[in-house]
Amino acid sequence: MPPNPTGPTNKQTRVLIRFLKKAANVNSAKIWRAIAAKLEKPRRQRVVVNVGKLERLVEDGDVVVVPGKLLGGGVISRKVTVAAFRASPKAIKKVRDAGGEVITIPELIRRFPKGKGVKVIT
């Protein structure tokens, strides 16, 4: 009988983690390795962020990454670019209605390979 798996068992999550680690090595950007480490945690320990928290922590034009799930609790009025591991439809609608943008983490890496100017919200 094989040993219990360690880390995420979802194939898409494992592929994303490998992509983040490779981006960290290629671009010498520690931010991507830190996000990979957060995604390797068990699902019950992953970050959950409401858009109301984004309203309190970011300014207009900021680029943020959420290494967990973005939920639609609260109100946001700032134009921000958000990359999240997962996002609820309500959260996506609220960010877009405020003039912001919701993208995937790989798309964020393509736009900001060095991670300069990207804020991690936990």
Domain 11-120 coded CATH 3.100.10.10:
yes
Task: Kindly tell me if the per-residue pLDDT of 4 is higher than 90.
Answer: no
d(C-alpha 34, C-alpha 1), whole Å: 33
d(C-alpha 68, C-alpha 47), whole Å: 5
pLDDT tens digits, one per residue of 17-44: 999 999 999 999 999 999 999 999 988 8
Looking at residue 66, its amino acid is V
Contact yes or no for 108/31 (Cβ under 8 A): no
What's the mean per-residue pLDDT of the chain? Answer: 93
Contact yes or no for 31/114 (Cβ under 8 A): no
pLDDT tens digits, one per residue of 44-76: 888 999 999 999 999 999 999 999 999 999 999
Per-residue pLDDT at 36: 95
Q: Closest by alpha carbon to 16, among 37, 30, 1, 2?
A: 37
